[in-house]
């Protein structure tokens, strides 16, 4: 196990290097000068040059990259071009909020998606199977910014049951947990819908494959009830591909959060990234991409370790 972990961690080095390259160069190769944005066009050429010099943007792009990378390996992700605050501080302030949203969405996607997939698989070919799969195709296809706005209009504006955005009532003297939960409902639903549909479809197909295996037929021949066969014998074996899908889903959730956080004014890393991309705040965007990559790698590593828990045949010794 230790060897496996070490091996996997060593593999993350080239991955992170690749991410760092993409994060650094894509933004810089895209048109747009952060100094023009910082000064809002209101500065003399001399002032612009001075700012560019102060920010180190006058050096060659290669020199800038290695200077940045040198700091990154020591844990210093640089400073925001706008606030002069450390990037890591800015990210860590926002990360818990993104985590709350993403975790709620993944829980909802599993809690609703898996049973839906299981029922559809066990009732293959029925009206329930067909309609649940149509719903899941719809859920998967709906753009989440559109879905978010529709939910806001219906539940926030028309019915006034739920807040239209934010994380809590800003004028409350002390933020309450119940308030957070109420604010969490619509963004979670928006973010979870597509993934719920994906989990449902994947669970269904994975379970169907297992249900056609000989040992399932044997179990049924022994006289076990349908649900016991599914839950005790089939489900566990169909979990491995589902876990691997969930690992990828977490990455997609982080990506989806960028849009959902913007629609619902959720103060996470996603909305910070959008704001920073618009401002060409290079260090924040680079830091956020690296941060997301680390989270993604960690979650997938966790998924790999979970295989061994679910399937005793898998060992990492």
Partner 1 sequence: MPDRSIPSDRGFSRRETLKGTVAVGALAAASNIAGGISAASAAVQGGPIVLAVPAESNAVNVVAAGGVSNHMRVMVQRSLLMYDNLNSTYAIVPGLAREMPEVLDDGLRFRFQLRDNAYYHDGTKVTAEAVANWINLQIDENHPDREYFKWNPASRLRSVKQAEAIDELTLDVHLKSFNAAQLDWFTDLAYEGIPVEAVKNRANIVDEDLGAGPYKVARRDKGVATIIERFDQFYDPEEGRAPRIGFRPIAEMNARVAALEAGEVDYIDSITPEAADLLRANDNIEVKERKTLYVWFISLDSREAPLNDVRVRQALNYALDKESLIRDVLGGGAERSYSPLSKQFGPMYAGDVVTHYDYDPDKARALLAEAGFADGFKSTIHTNTGRRGQLKPIEMSQFVQANWADVGVEVEIEALEWSAFEGRRRKGEFKIATRGWTPSTGDPDGLLIQNFHSSQIPPTQRNVAFLQDPEVDRLLDEGSGTLEMEKRTKAFVDAQKRIVDLAPWVFVAHEIAFVAHNSELQDYPTVHPSGWGESLTYAWKA
Choosing from 58, 112, 166, 306, the residue that interacts with partner 1 (CB under 8 A) is: 166
Nearer to partner 1, 41 or 125 (CB): 41
Nearer to partner 1, 13 or 177 (CB): 177
Choosing from 8, 12, 16, 37, the residue that interacts with partner 1 (CB under 8 A) is: 37
Choosing from 262, 273, 290, 296, the residue that interacts with partner 1 (CB under 8 A) is: 262
Q: Quick check: 153 binds partner 1 (CB under 8 A)?
A: yes
Nearer to partner 1, 165 or 241 (CB): 165
Q: Are 170 and 140 in contact (CB under 8 A)?
A: no
Question: Rounded to the nearest whole angstrom, what is the least distance from the CB of residue 29 to partner 1 in the complex?
Answer: 11
Question: Rounded to the nearest whole angstrom, what is the least distance from the CB of residue 262 to partner 1 in the complex?
Answer: 5
Nearer to partner 1, 40 or 312 (CB): 40
Q: Quick check: 256 binds partner 1 (CB under 8 A)?
A: no
User: For residue 227, with 0-12 CB atoms within 10 Å meaning exposed, 13-18 middle and 19 or more buried, which class applies?
Assistant: exposed
**Nearest one of 15, 198, 224 to 106, comparing CA atoms:** 198
Dihedral angle of Cα 268, 105, 20, 39, to the nearest 10 degrees: -30
- Measured from the Cβ of residue 271, the count of other Cβ atoms closer than 10 Å reads 22
Q: Quick check: 274 binds partner 1 (CB under 8 A)?
A: yes
**Nearest one of 240, 273, 243, 241 to 256, comparing CA atoms:** 273
152 CB-near residues (< 8 Å, 6+ apart) = 164, 165, 186, 263, 264
Residues 85-144 that bind partner 1 (CB under 8 A): 85, 90, 93-94, 97
Q: Quick check: 190 binds partner 1 (CB under 8 A)?
A: no
End-to-end, the C-alpha distance of the chain in Å comes to 5
Nearer to partner 1, 149 or 301 (CB): 149
Residues 6-35 that bind partner 1 (CB under 8 A): 30-34
Residues 49-78 that bind partner 1 (CB under 8 A): 51, 54
Q: Quick check: 260 binds partner 1 (CB under 8 A)?
A: no
Give the binding site for partner 1 (CB under 8 A): 30-34, 36-39, 41-45, 47, 51, 54, 80, 82-85, 90, 93-94, 97, 149, 152-153, 156-157, 160, 163-168, 170-171, 262-268, 271-272, 274-275, 279-280
């Amino acid at each position: 196990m230790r060897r496996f972990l070490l091996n996997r961690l060593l593999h993350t080095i080239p991955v992170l290097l690749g991410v760092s390259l993409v994060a650094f160069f894509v933004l810089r190769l895209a048109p747009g000068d952060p100094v023009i944005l910082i000064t809002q066009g209101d500065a003399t050429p001399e002032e612009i040059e001075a700012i560019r010099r102060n920010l180190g943007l006058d050096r060659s792009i290669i020199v800038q990259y290695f200077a940045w990378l040198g700091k990154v390996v020591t844990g210093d992700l640089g400073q925001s071009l706008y606030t002069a605050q450390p990037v890591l501080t800015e990210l860590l302030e926002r990360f818990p909020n993104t985590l709350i949203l993403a975790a709620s969405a993944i829980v909802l996607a599993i809690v609703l998606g898996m049973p839906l997939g299981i029922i559809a698989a066990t009732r293959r070919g029925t009206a329930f199977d067909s309609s649940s799969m149509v719903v899941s195709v719809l859920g998967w296809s709906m753009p989440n910014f559109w879905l978010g706005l529709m939910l806001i209009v219906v539940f926030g504006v028309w019915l006034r049951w739920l807040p239209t955005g934010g994380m809590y009532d800003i004028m409350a003297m002390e933020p309450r947990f119940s308030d957070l939960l109420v604010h969490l409902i619509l963004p979670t639903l928006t973010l979870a819908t597509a993934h719920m549909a994906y989990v449902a479809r994947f669970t269904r197909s994975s379970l169907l494959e297992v249900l056609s295996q000989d040992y399932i037929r044997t179990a049924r021949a022994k006289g076990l009830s349908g649900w016991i066969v599914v839950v005790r014998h089939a489900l566990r074996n169909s979990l491995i591909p589902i876990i691997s899908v969930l690992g990828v889903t977490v990455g997609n959730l982080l990506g989806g959060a960028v849009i959902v956080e913007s629609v619902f004014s959720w103060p996470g890393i996603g909305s910070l990234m959008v704001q920073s991309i618009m401002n060409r705040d290079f260090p924040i965007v680079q830091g956020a991409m690296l941060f997301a990559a680390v989270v993604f790698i960690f979650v997938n590593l966790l998924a790999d370790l979970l295989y061994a828990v679910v399937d005793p045949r898998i060992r990492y010794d």
